[in-house]
Chain A
Amino acid sequence: MSLESLKERLEAKTGCKLEIVENPSVSAQHSLLVQAKDAVAVATLLRDDEGYNYCSNVTGVDRPAREVSEKVKVMKLVEGVETEVEETQKRMTAAYLEVVYHLFSMTKHKYMVVLRMRTLDREARVHLPSLTPVWRSAEFQEREVYDLYGVLFNGHPDLRRILMWDEFEDFPMRRDYVEPDDYEYEPTAHDAVLRKTNAHWAEAGEGEVGQ
């Protein structure tokens, strides 16, 4: 059962557009990227028609914008003649949060489908439809993604923080999360711990201390 044929079947039935995200590693676990608006319809189809009745794993992934440089061919006037020149251009990738669902079937077959959804950005437009109504097993895991990444799941029955305490404000698994300054004396400080130590003392106005 190939991912392409599954994609075609799903597209024919729902009329939505799916995209295959290639996985370059040897595991070859390619995934289906689904638009937020079609997610519930696609998920229901996967569960009812394709037999994926078991949602094993729900993962949040943070993708902040990063700079990529790529080589582009551009036409340029070189010494009066228009020639094709390769040029390195730098651009920023789109920033978004991603939620990945690993789906299996407990009763019909043993294939896996990886379903991905992406938010529009990382700040305000972080709403995604909840798939808990389709697979109950996503309930705690979506709460965890909300708790640690800040994705808001529309239609989740009980979207509260699960691991952090209710009054906590930030989202600790985001890659730009800044840890609070909970400095403690460490006798073997080096690398990251030493940087933290120095930052703490710099803030306290004592200057840097070496080990």
Chain B
Amino acid sequence: MSTFSAPAMELTPKPSYAADGAQLLEVSMGPQHPSTHGVFRMDVALDGETVVKLKPIFGYLHRNHEKLGEDQSYIASMPYTDRLDYFCSMTNNWAYALAVEKLAGIVVPERAEYLRVITAELTRLQNHTSLVGFLMQDMGASGTPLMYAFREREKILDLFESLSGARMMCNYMRFGGCRVDLPKGWQQQAQSVVDAYPKFLDEFEALLTSNEILMARTQGVGALSSELAIAAGITGPMLRASGVNYDLRKVDAYGIYDRFQFRVPLGDHGDVYDRCMVRLLEMRESLEILKQALRDLPEGPIQDPKTKVRNFKPKPGEAYGRIEAPKGELGFYLISDGSANPYRFRVRPPSLINLTILEDLCLGRNIADVVIILGSVDIVMGEVDR
């Protein structure tokens, strides 16, 4: 037990006042609020309807994932990573597997790399589809866009289920490869989903992008400058909507991403509308990658034969592995002391760090804008609180 305790912080702030002397209205938004995408709370101070202070409060879903990781073997953490960002278990698996592979120097067979790209891009597709649906829901388009999005997402989840056995908690990747090979007919099924997707995207865009109400509601709202985005370590579609060309699939070219032709969509203003558009465009690029990957998928082993599932003990050292998850840069930092459990297991959660600038984006906006700004950040509390 540590004997040291930190100096007491002032917990209850004094009532705050607006410039004209009127007392501000303090609103505790959340944790059980339908627009906060989970149990997330914001302490908001309002002058009329205008936000003058906003402090995000976390921890309602905190389960000390990192301590759990330190208390068990390397492989036992794999199913727990599914539960970080429960929309994108495939990319979480990949990020963790990548960090361990860097730590232990494991080479992944060709076919497994392709399978990883295919599953990760499908994950990106379904994450962005449902995020745009959720964002519309936040704006008041009750149901319709979200249900269309979920209809398409379901097809991808079916693919995941027939591959890994689970729709969301896939637990599919292993150190040095993937757990199972494609079942019979999977590739054709995936191909037909990929072929049919552009039609859905066309319809989705017709439904949304030229809608005057949507434009009035999102354009110019929550604008994020590229300087602030870089300084605050914003990653993923949110960063690219601000015009910074930084996509780890291009920068790091982890896995085999250097083999695929795809473009990185960039926004201009960094507002909610741009974030939404960047995601819609990114889905089209994901489809391009998927087409190439499904076409080039080679035959061969899917698992490095030298890597064991049990009694896996990497040599002492440390490694930081990161990938471009649908929400941003997802990194795992592992320190090994040579035993079966990691000495330190750190998750770099994109959702949490993307919330750093939430207050900056919301100050001076209406309370109703807070909801869509938060929606456009794309958070999953399982990952924010860990």
Judge A-B direct contact (beta carbons within 8 Å): yes
Residue numbers of A with Cβ under 8 A of B are 23-27, 29, 53-57, 59, 61, 100, 102, 106-107, 110, 112, 114, 122-124, 126, 135-141, 146, 148, 150, 152, 159-166, 169-174, 176-178, 192
Closest 4 CB pairs of A and B: A25-B317, A137-B233, A26-B105, A27-B319
Take A59-B344, A140-B356 as given contacts and tell me if A53 and B2 are in contact as well, using a CB distance cutoff of 8 Å.
no
Interchain nearest-CB distance for A170 vs B (Å): 7
Q: How far is the CA of A160 from the CA of B11 in the complex (A)?
A: 9
Query: Secondary structure at chain A's binding surface: helix, strand, loop or mixed?
Result: loop
| Contact segment of B22-30, B302-310, B331-339, B361-369 | B331-339
Within 8 Å CB of B5, what residues of A? Answer: 169
In the complex, are the beta carbons of B64 and A136 less than 8 A apart? no
Interchain nearest-CB distance for A187 vs B (Å): 20
In the complex, are the beta carbons of B317 and A152 less than 8 A apart? no
**A54 CB contact (under 8 Å) in B230, B314, B318, B348:** B230
Within 8 Å CB of B4, what residues of A? Answer: 122-124, 126, 150
Q: How far is the CA of A177 from the CA of B233 in the complex (A)?
A: 31
Q: Mark B274-298, 1 if CB is under 8 A from A, else 0.
A: 0000000000000000000000000
In the complex, are the beta carbons of B333 and A59 less than 8 A apart? yes
Interface residues of B, count at CB 8 A: 54
Q: Does B216 contact A (CB under 8 A)?
A: no
Interchain nearest-CB distance for A112 vs B (Å): 7
Interchain nearest-CB distance for A189 vs B (Å): 16
**A106 CB contact (under 8 Å) in B59, B230, B356, B357:** B230
In the complex, are the beta carbons of B64 and A173 less than 8 A apart? yes
Q: Does B385 contact A (CB under 8 A)?
A: yes
| Contact segment of B45-53, B123-131, B157-165, B244-252 | B244-252
In the complex, are the beta carbons of A27 and B103 less than 8 A apart? yes
21 A-B interface contacts by CB (under 8 A) = A23-B318, A24-B315, A24-B317, A25-B105, A25-B336, A26-B317, A27-B317, A27-B318, A54-B233, A56-B233, A57-B331, A107-B244, A112-B320, A123-B4, A137-B231, A139-B356, A141-B352, A152-B6, A160-B9, A165-B59, A177-B1
In the complex, are the beta carbons of B320 and A114 less than 8 A apart? yes
Residue numbers of B with Cβ under 8 A of A are 1-6, 9, 11, 58-59, 62, 64, 66-67, 71, 102-105, 228, 230-234, 239, 244, 246, 251-252, 314-320, 322, 329, 331, 333, 335-336, 343-344, 346, 348, 352-353, 355-357, 385-386
In the complex, are the beta carbons of A176 and B1 less than 8 A apart? yes
Further contacts, 11 of them, CB under 8 A, given A25-B318, A162-B58: A25-B103, A27-B102, A27-B317, A53-B231, A56-B329, A61-B343, A106-B246, A140-B355, A140-B356, A166-B11, A171-B2
In the complex, are the beta carbons of A102 and B353 less than 8 A apart? no
The residue in A29, A59, A124 that gathers the most chain B C-beta atoms within 10 A of its C-beta is A59
In the complex, are the beta carbons of B2 and A102 less than 8 A apart? no
Nearest to A160 among chain B residues (CB) is B9
Q: How far is the CA of A24 from the CA of B318 in the complex (A)?
A: 8
In the complex, are the beta carbons of A174 and B2 less than 8 A apart? yes
Take A57-B333, A106-B246 as given contacts and tell me if A29 and B318 are in contact as well, using a CB distance cutoff of 8 Å.
yes
Take A25-B103, A53-B230, A173-B64 as given contacts and tell me if A123 and B2 are in contact as well, using a CB distance cutoff of 8 Å.
yes
Interchain nearest-CB distance for B88 vs A (Å): 19
The residue in B58, B66, B318 that gathers the most chain A C-beta atoms within 10 A of its C-beta is B318
